[in-house]
Amino acid sequence: MLSFMTRATLDILLLRRGPQDLPARREVLYVVILAYLVLSAPAYVAVIQMQVHVALMQSVSSLAYLAGFAWAVLALGGRRERFQQSFMALVATAAVFNILEVGPLISLMPYFLQIQDLMLQAQGQPDALDPAVVEAIDVPGFALVMLLLVYVWRLMVMAHVFHHALEISRGRAMAIALLFPGLIMFLALMVR
């Protein structure tokens, strides 16, 4: 079963299969969720240098958000019965994307922190940002391009899963996939 799931996940990542090709078995879903947690928590530790228990909680909350989003999308589309396989596809591919993002994020994290510090210093005073200081931050282009490519790929795969699960056009599926990061940003702003 593990080799089948590995091949099926790879095929979904390459947009050759859909969630309907995954087994509709709870025990397989539990294994996929466990694999996500095992792969994603260390990624958070490596990139953001979180403590392990905090990284595990972040992984669980990411899973819960993904589950809620997928369930809501499928319920609104009248396809709740396809939740298990769709969620399994989203979780399995998210685990792979989390690993692919580690390298670029580790390279970019010092620059993100510098930018964050500058923004905190200038909060409420846009003129306080010295353009020379901002321009001096030399973000590594290769890491940034790699991260953006993985992110675009992630959106394409999510759209692919919803395209198959909801039997809708690829354009509508992409619009749904784009809602996911938009809602994450909205919720992050609301929590502040």
Concatenated DSSP letters of 17-38: --GGGS---HHHHHHHHHHHHH
| Model confidence pLDDT, tens digit, residues 139-167 | 788 988 999 999 999 999 999 999 999 99
| Model confidence pLDDT, tens digit, residues 92-127 | 999 999 999 998 988 888 888 887 777 777 776 766
What does the buried/exposed string (b/e) look like for 33-58 if buried means 16 or more CB atoms within 10 Å of the residue's CB? bebbbebbbbbbbbbeebeeeebbeb
Residue 76 C-alpha from the chain's centroid: 22
Count Cα atoms within 13 angstroms, Cβ side, for 92: 27
Share of the chain above pLDDT 90, in %: 56
Two structure tokens written together for 162? 């919803």
What does the buried/exposed string (b/e) look like for 7-22 if buried means 16 or more CB atoms within 10 Å of the residue's CB? ebbeebbebebbbeeb
Give the separation between CA 44 and CA 63, rounded to whole angstroms: 14
| Confidence at 128, pLDDT banded by 50, 70, 90 | low
pTM strictly above 0.85? yes
Supply the pLDDT for residue 185: 77
For 94, 150, 155, the CA distances from 100, given in Å and listed in that order, are 10, 7, 14
SS3 43: helix
CB atoms within 10 A of CB 144: 14
